[in-house]
Structures are given as structure tokens and as C-alpha cells.
Amino acid sequence: MRSVKLLILNTFIAALVLGLVFSWHYHNAMAKGEKEFFSQQMRLARQSALLIEQQSEGVAPETVMVQLFGDRSQGLLGNNQIAFYSREKQSFSQPANLPAPLMPPLESSRDLAQRLQRGAHGSLSVDSEKGRLLLTFLPLDHKTTLVVAAARDEALAPIKFMGRSLWLLVLLLPAVFLMALPFRREHSETGGVENSEIDSESMSDLKDQNRLLEQENSMLSVARREYQLLVEGSNIGLARLNSNGQIQFCSHALLDLAGCRRQDITGRNLLDLDIFSAADQEILRNAVAEVREGIPARPVITTLHPGETDNSVEVYFSPLHIEGTLTGMIAWLRPVDGRLNLSAQAG
């Protein structure tokens, strides 16, 4: 329930923000449209002034406008109407054959009256009984000013229509959401139980799997320690060889028997070490070859460091297979007398 209220609140906040954004764009569009319309009015005023200047020759501007436009003035001027302001009479003139101008009472706009009386030119937005008007004025001579007027709502009708449409869209968004909310809640209620059950089962399975993995890791750690004690505590020297006979791992017992350090023999071929005589190396190579060919291995008795010591060991190779493929072997070096040469250097 709380999530639904929060969702409704967020929807109204989003609609409010969207409305503010639309409002800002709408007012900017209206201001821009008004500015562009004033530019069009000024062009129309200058064109009209040019026609009056060419046609007047002592005739009143009002009469020239009637002769030029007559009853067709609305079609020629679009949304605009033209009137004349007389600075002597301080009023607008209304030619009989032209439509009644949209001019506001001068008493209602002191700013407009002052500009017209000064003979200024420019544009101004003025409130009147007929609504807001867009006026552009251009002096024709020292007595008369040409005034072009248009109703703001008519001039900017496309922009206003767009603004109303956007506001309607903003208002409809929360309404549509509220109408769809019952269906959303019904769907969430019907599917929520199933989803929660599935989530609970999944979490339970994950916990069980995690517990089993922890148990397996613990057992592997124990087994690793036991194997390490078994290998390192034995007096039998062990070496893990790859398929080429290179030493990948060796026990402390083998280092004691060989009198070598671990870094000196790791990565080297066991049979290339100078701990065996040349004759024994050949015998051991034959034993390794038999292991590679799958022939049961036979122990070989040899002497380590011949001429220096009398350490006799029994060497035995056992194959290592992974999925039926020979990947290496284990070399076993067991002292024949059962004792280690403790005077040798440890790795």
C-alpha cells in the first residue's frame, strides 16, 4: 500500500514538473511568436506607407487606403486592420468603406497615447475591451501615423492551440495512470504470491548450495593438509613429473635424498640430474618409456651421487591419467636401507 501511495505521489510530482516545463516553453513560444508578428506588422506598415506616398498627391491617406483596399482590406491584410491616428485631433480616423478598426480607447493606454502623440514608431501590446491587441505604428508625416492592429488571440492562434494541447496532455497523464492503477494492483496481487514463493524457494536453494560448497571447501582443506602431512612426513622421495619427465613438484624427502634445493631442480628433467650415473640414467629412461607405452613399471635400484655417497634407492615410476590420457607420472625414490641422508642440504 505504501508503495502505491509513493507511486501516485511520484506521478503527480512528475506531472507537475512536466507542466512547469510545458508552461515555460509555452510562454517562450508566445513571446517569440509575438515578436515575429510585430516584425510582420512593421513590414506591412512600411509597404502601406510606400503605397500611400506613391498614390496620395495631396489626397488624404484615409481616402488612398479606401481606393487601394476598399472592402477587400480584410483579405489583403489578413488578421491585421489599418487605421490612422491624427496628432491634431488626437484620435483615430475611421474611413467609411473600411472595417471598424480594433483600436483601443487612448484613455486605457497612456503609453500608447504618448507614443502616438510624439510621432514615434514601434510596436506595443495593449489590453482593450476586445481583448489584447498587437499594435504597430509608423508615422506618415508630421500629422498622421499609420497604425496596424490585430487581435493577439487570432494572430497567435496556432501557438495557443499547441499550448492547450500540451496542457491537456499533462492533465490526462495522472488520470490515465489512476484509471490503470486498479488493474496494476490486481495483477500484482495475483502474481505477487507466486513470485514470492518462487523467490523464497530460490533463496532456500541458494542457501543450501552455499552451505554444501562451504562443507566441500572445508573437507578439501582438511584433505589437503592430510595429504601434505602424508607426503612431507614420509621418508620416500616423491616428484610430480609431466609427460616429458620435467619436475613440477617434489617433496622434502626427495630434496634430502638428492642433496638439492627446490629451485635448482624444479622445471628440470629428473633423468638429466647428475645424481644418477650415466648407466643408471639409461636404465631409468627405459623404465619411463615403458610407463609411457603402458607397460607395468618395474622398480630400479640405483645409487645416488655415485662415487660420493653410497645412498642406494629404489626408483619407481607410476603413470598419471586424466580421462584415459597420460598426463605425467609420479617418481618414487625409496631408500633401500630405509634411512635418509640427513647430512644433505634441505631445499
Q: Which pairs count as long-range contacts for 322-328, CB under 8 Å and 24+ apart, including other chains?
A: 326/243, 326/292, 327/242, 327/243, 328/240, 328/241, 328/242, 328/243, 328/248
* pLDDT exceeds 70 at position 69: no
Report residue 307: phi and psi, to 5°. 90, -20
Would you place residue 211 in the very low, low, confident or very high pLDDT band (cuts 50, 70, 90)?
Answer: confident
State the Cα–Cα distance between residues 191 and 278, nearest whole angstrom: 80
Which range among 40-54, 189-203, 217-231, 265-279 shows the weakest confidence by mean pLDDT? 189-203
- DSSP 8-state assignment for residue 275: T
Which range among 24-33, 95-104, 302-311 shows the weakest confidence by mean pLDDT? 95-104
Q: Which pairs count as long-range contacts for 88-95, CB under 8 Å and 24+ apart, including other chains?
A: 88/143, 90/117, 92/147, 93/62, 95/62, 95/63, 95/65, 95/66
Is the distance from CB of 320 to CB of 327 less than 8 angstroms? Answer: yes
Domains by residue range for the chain, with CATH: 2-161 (3.30.450.20), 230-335 (3.30.450.20)
* Amino acid (one-letter) located at 281: Q
The percent of residues in the chain predicted with pLDDT above 90, rounded, is: 0
Please indicate, yes or no, whether the overall pTM of this predicted structure exceeds 0.75.
Answer: no
Angle (CA) 282-285-291 rounded to 5° is 150
* pLDDT exceeds 80 at position 338: no
Signed CA dihedral, 151, 154, 160, 165: sign only: positive
**Residue 13 has what pLDDT?**
77
